[in-house]
Structures are given as structure tokens and as C-alpha cells.
């Protein structure tokens, strides 16, 4: 089965502020990314997804967009972006950009106009309402950021409240207004015309809201059926816009902890191509939990739906910190060997842990600084405190693990996590069975997650992950072939070559791929 570009290899998430700083101001930028593209070539990634680099006051570090069609000076210029795009394409790397449709910055000219007076033509572009009573917001909705509290702020000039699902500096657009939808479609066209290959859609499940703005009441639950169909209609129209251009891809941040609802965004084939699955991200480190989520995803998928797997991004603690260093290696193997597109957040290929952020360096309102710490490219002992990320003072502290886990050191160590990530990518690129083969669950025993990938000419690859902290024997089911050849193990001590599946024992947190 031929694969599309977004199905073949991994999509690598770049958080531009923390990837590479080319001008010494301590914040990463587009030129820094260009300088590091060959590192991504060695990782054989299919595409980069860039978190926002648009003009922004940076209240939410770029997710508060003040101009969707320009680059913030801290990251460079539109010319830099065009060069990044051209240099990526030259290397066979596609470019996916973040699209933030639910809200803008309060400094976006649309909102500046909207808040100027109740009669302003842009008033109806945002969600303005009267309070229930003086000093009481229209309802009790809360911001997604706990520290913010309620999702409404009162505007003294016009005497009304506006909705912000995140910071007060991120007013929600009113997608019920067709002018808003048309303006956001123009943003998609702007970037498609420039040549981007796809969009990651920020909080896509929020682009329609209960039209009555009801609070959930215990005896009268507000159910999503009232407005989610509207989101799907809006997504179909977005898809139609990107389908005006060839081979563009939409991946959505569908932050719903309900697989059935998540799959509704990809199952019909005319909405998203991929959905980030947060049910998967929130799983405990437990083989049966992973088993049932993977199997339910497959069971609920339509024929055409394609899975996407990720366990880390710029909003969540890193895998090495959540589950452990060995487990972070096992996760990489899992992402590359499952049927679907792997998403790798920058630094996961290095097995980085979260950085420690002293109280006086905290900058994010929602506690997400540790996973956003800069990438250590070189040993601090050789390159100074900036670890090859910057010659200046990094905007967030560099992880203390930089000396051991920097990219340069790992590139020369065949046992490193980076070396493992490269071998996984090589295997996936060389082996169509990993890209597009069928997938079948295998019962291999307690604490083991195992699955087969079956390709053309009955080529078979077996993947096994040991979730236990100690050794586990693989109980080979009777219908499996008995001999195997090791392709990759996360345990550098494992011998290569042929072995009998009946004798297979996995070491603590080991994961492997074997050819049957």
C-alpha cells in the first residue's frame, strides 16, 4: 500500500523558542532551525511541525497571535521563513505550521477594534456578553489555565465581558460569525500559497461553543451533542480550503479524553487527516492500559482513518521524567513501530528529562517551562553555559542533564538514545511493513505489550515492550513463527542475530523489534 508523506516517517515538533538561537538573544529563531536542518535529515523525519512563530506579545509564548501572516521579530522575518521552507524542501522535509483559530492576542488589530466600542464592525468577531448581574460574568466557565480562574474578563470601556478560554490576553474569536471564518480561511490560504505542507490546528475542539453559553448543572448536564456537529461542519470547510492545494495535511489538537469523539474528527475522511490522541498521552505506564487504548482506537477507526501517536509535546512533562530514562527509549520504539504517524517532540530523541526551573525563572502561567527548556547541542563544559543553544543567556534554564545528554555527545555514542532514534528511523524508512503494514495485537504475557506488523509477501515484524521494572519472559503464542532475527533493541546489551522466540526474555523496560 503506497503511503502519503505524512504517513511515512515521523513528524518532529519544533518549539522555535527553544530549538536553536542564531543571534545570541537567548531565544531560538528561524535561522537557528535552518542551521540545524541536517540534524533532522539524519533523523530521517518526514516533516517538521513549527509551534507559532507569528507576531505576538508572547503572553502565551506565541499562542497569542497578533498577526497571523507575519513572523515575530524575535524569530526573524518572512524572508527567513521562506528560506527555512526552501531549505527544508530541498532536504525532502515537509513543513507544518501551527494554526491558532480559537483565539487571537488581545493586541491583534481585530480585537483592538472590537473592544473600541459596541458599534465597531469588529465587535461581533469576539464573544462579548452582558454579565448576569453587576460584577457577575455571563456564566461560570473557567479558563483552561487554572491560575487564570474564570474565562471572562470585564471591559470597563464598553461595560461588557469577553470570553477567553485561556489568558485574558487571548480573547476567543466568535466562529458563529461568518466573517471570522472567512478571515481565518484566508490565513490558511496565505500559508498554503507560501508553500507550507500542512497545519497543526490548535484546540480545534473549541471552534464552536454551546450557543446558549450554559453552565453544566448537575440535574441538566450540558452535552456536547449541541455544538460538536457545528465544529465538524467548520472543519469540513477548512479541509475544503486546504484541498484547493495538493497534498496538504491537517492534524488537530483534539484535546478530548474520549476516543469516540476524537475519532469523529478523522473517520469521515473529509475533516482532519490526523488527530492528536490525548487519551494515549495521559495513560499510566501500564501494558494493559496501552493495549486497550491502542485496540479501541483501531476498533473505532473507519477504514480510511490513520492513527497518530505521541506521548510528549510542549504542554506536558517529558517522557523521561514521567516514566523514566529506559522507558523513554521504549516509547520511541513504540511510536515508530505502531501503525500510524509518530510525532516526536524536540528533545525526546535525546531522552531529555524536564529541566528544573527555579522560582525566579518561571515564566509560564501554567507550569510548562520544564518541558520547554532549550535543546543542549553541545557539552556545556566545552561550549559554555548555553550548551550550543545560545551564546547568550537562555530564556529558560538549560537542563542539568546537558553534559551527558547533549546531541553532539550522543551522536558519537552508538548506545545513546539519539543513536537509537536514528536506527528506528532508518528501519522505518527501509521497511514498508513498518510504514503501512497491517497491525495485529499479540498476547505475550503480563506487563508485555506486543504486536505484529504484517506487510506484503507476508513479511512480519514483531514489536514487544516490557513495561515491568524487571525481566519478563515472552510467552510465544502458538500461531506465531518460532524463530526471529533481532532488528533493534533499546537495550544496548542485547545480542544481535537469530533467536528462538520461545527463549525470549526482555530486560527491565526493554523494547525490541524482531523480524519473524
Nearer to ligand GLC, 205 or 472 (CB): 205
Nearer to ligand GLC, 103 or 423 (CB): 103
Nearer to ligand GLC, 100 or 396 (CB): 100
Nearer to ligand GLC, 345 or 377 (CB): 345
CB atoms within 10 A of CB 492: 12
| CB 53 to ligand GLC: min, Å | 14
Binding mask 415-454 for ligand GLC (x = CB under 6 A): ----------------------------------------
244 flagged as catalytic: yes
203 CB-near residues (< 8 Å, 6+ apart) = 102, 165, 253, 255
CB 349 within 8 A of CB 14: no
Which of positions 137-166 make contact with ligand GLC (CB under 6 A)? 166
What is the sign, positive or negative, of the torsion defined by CA atoms of 132, 207, 67, 84? positive
202 flagged as catalytic: yes
411 CB-near residues (< 8 Å, 6+ apart) = 42, 418, 419
By CB under 6 A, how many residues form the interface with ligand GLC?
9
Give the whole-angstrom CA distance, residue 304 versus residue 269: 7
Which of positions 81-120 make contact with ligand GLC (CB under 6 A)? 100
DSSP element (H, E) containing 94: strand 94-99
For residues 226, 227, 229, 231, the Cα torsion angle rounded to the nearest 10 degrees is -170
Nearer to ligand GLC, 314 or 339 (CB): 314
Select which of 21, 60, 174, 202 is catalytic: 202
What is the sign, positive or negative, of the torsion defined by CA atoms of 315, 420, 352, 16? negative
| CB 500 to ligand GLC: min, Å | 46
Is residue 54 part of the contact set for ligand GLC (CB under 6 A)?
no
| CB 120 to ligand GLC: min, Å | 24
Binding mask 57-86 for ligand GLC (x = CB under 6 A): ---x--x-----------------------
Which of positions 219-278 make contact with ligand GLC (CB under 6 A)? 253
Nearer to ligand GLC, 17 or 329 (CB): 17
Binding mask 314-333 for ligand GLC (x = CB under 6 A): xx------------------
Tell me the CA distances in angstroms from 267 to 274, 416, 514, one per residue in order: 10, 38, 31
3-class SS string, 344-376: EECCHHHCCCCCCCCHHHCCCCCCCCHHHCCCC
Nearest alpha-carbon partner for 253 in 177, 316, 211: 316
| CB 172 to ligand GLC: min, Å | 10
Select which of 243, 244, 471, 502 is catalytic: 244
β-pair partners for 450:
442, 464
| CB 199 to ligand GLC: min, Å | 13
Binding ligand GLC (rule: CB under 6 A), the pick from 29, 202, 349, 371 is: 202
| CB 315 to ligand GLC: min, Å | 5
Tell me the CA distances in angstroms from 174 to 180, 200, 210, 247, one per residue in order: 7, 20, 12, 29
Give the whole-angstrom CA distance, residue 501 versus residue 516: 9
Nearer to ligand GLC, 59 or 425 (CB): 59
Torsion angles phi and psi, residue 230, rounded to 5: -65, -40
By annotation, the residues acting in catalysis are 202, 244
> Binding residues for ligand GLC, per CB under 6 A?
60, 63, 100, 166, 202-203, 253, 314-315
Amino acid at each position: 500500500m503506497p503511503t502519503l508523506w505524512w504517513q511515512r516517517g515521523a513528524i518532529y515538533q519544533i518549539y522555535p523558542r527553544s530549538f536553536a538561537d542564531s543571534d545570541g538573544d537567548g531565544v531560538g529563531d528561524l535561522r537557528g532551525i535552518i542551521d540545524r536542518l541536517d540534524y533532522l535529515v539524519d533523523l530521517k523525519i518526514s516533516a517538521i511541525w513549527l509551534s507559532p512563530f507569528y507576531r505576538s506579545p508572547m503572553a502565551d509564548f506565541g499562542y497569542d497571535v497578533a498577526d497571523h501572516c507575519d513572523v515575530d521579530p524575535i524569530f526573524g522575518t518572512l524572508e527567513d521563513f521562506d528560506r527555512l521552507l526552501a531549505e527544508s524542501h530541498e532536504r525532502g522535509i515537509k513543513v507544518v505550521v501551527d494554526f491558532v483559530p480559537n483565539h487571537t492576542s488581545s493586541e491583534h488589530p481585530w480585537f483592538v477594534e472590537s473592544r473600541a466600542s459596541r458599534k465597531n464592525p469588529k465587535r461581533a468577531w469576539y464573544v462579548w456578553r452582558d454579565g448576569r448581574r453587576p460584577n457577575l460574568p455571563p456564566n461560570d466557565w473557567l479558563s483552561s489555565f487554572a491560575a487564570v480562574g474564570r474565562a471572562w474578563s470585564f471591559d470597563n470601556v464598553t461595560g461588557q465581558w469577553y470570553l477567553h478560554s485561556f489568558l485574558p490576553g487571548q480573547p476567543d474569536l466568535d466562529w458563529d460569525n461568518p466573517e471570522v471564518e472567512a478571515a481565518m480561511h484566508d490565513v490558511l490560504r496565505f500559508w498554503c500559497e507560501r508553500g507550507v505542507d500542512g497545519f497543526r490546528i490548535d484546540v480545534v475542539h473549541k471552534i464552536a461553543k454551546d450557543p446558549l453559553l450554559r453552565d453544566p448543572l448537575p440535574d441538566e448536564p450540558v452535552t456536547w451533542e449541541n455544538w460538536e456537529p457545528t465544529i465538524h461542519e467548520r472543519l469540513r470547510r477548512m479541509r475544503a480550503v486546504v484541498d484547493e492545494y495538493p497534498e496538504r495535511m491537517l492534524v488537530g489538537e483534539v484535546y478530548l479524553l474520549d476516543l469516540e469523539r476524537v475519532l469523529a474528527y478523522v473517520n469521515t475522511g473529509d475533516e482532519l487527516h490526523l488527530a492528536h490522541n490525548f487519551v494515549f498521552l495521559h495513560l499510566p505506564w501500564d501494558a494493559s492500559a496501552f493495549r486497550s487504548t491502542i485496540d479501541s482506537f483501531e476498533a473505532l477507526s473507519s477504514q480510511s482513518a490513520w492513527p497518530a501517536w505521541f506521548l510528549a509535546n510542549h504542554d506536558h512533562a517529558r517522557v523521561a521524567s514521567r516514566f523514566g530514562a529506559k522507558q523513554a527509549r521504549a516509547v520511541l520504539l513504540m511510536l515508530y513501530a505502531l501503525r500510524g504517524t509518530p510525532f516526536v517532540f524536540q528533545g525526546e530523541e535525546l531522552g531529555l528529562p524536564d529541566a528544573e526551573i527555579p522560582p525566579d525563572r518561571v515564566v509560564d502561567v501554567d507550569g510548562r517551562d520544564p518541558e520547554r527548556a532549550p535543546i543542549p547541542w553541545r557539552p556545556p563544559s566545552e561550549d559554555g553555559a548555553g550548551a550550543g543553544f545560545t551564546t547568550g543567556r537562555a530564556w529558560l534554564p538549560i537542563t542539568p542533564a546537558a553534559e551527558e545528554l547533549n546531541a553532539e555527545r550522543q551522536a558519537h555514542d552508538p548506545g545513546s538514545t539519539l543513536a537509537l532514534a536514528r536506527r528506528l528511523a532508518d528501519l522505518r524508512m527501509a521497511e514498508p511493513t513498518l510504514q503501512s503494514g497491517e497491525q495485529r495485537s499479540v498476547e505475550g504475557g503480563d506487563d508485555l505489550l506486543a504486536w505484529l506488523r504484517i506487510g506484503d509477501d507476508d513479511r512480519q515484524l514483531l514489536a514487544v515492550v516490557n513495561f515491568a521494572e524487571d525481566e519478563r519472559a515472552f510467552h510465544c503464542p502458538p500461531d506465531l513463527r518460532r524463530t526471529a532475527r533481532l532488528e533493534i533493541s533499546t537495550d544496548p546489551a542485547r545480542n544481535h542475530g537469530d533467536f528462538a522466540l520461545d527463549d525470549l526474555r526482555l530486560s527491565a523496560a526493554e523494547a525490541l523489534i524482531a523480524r519473524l
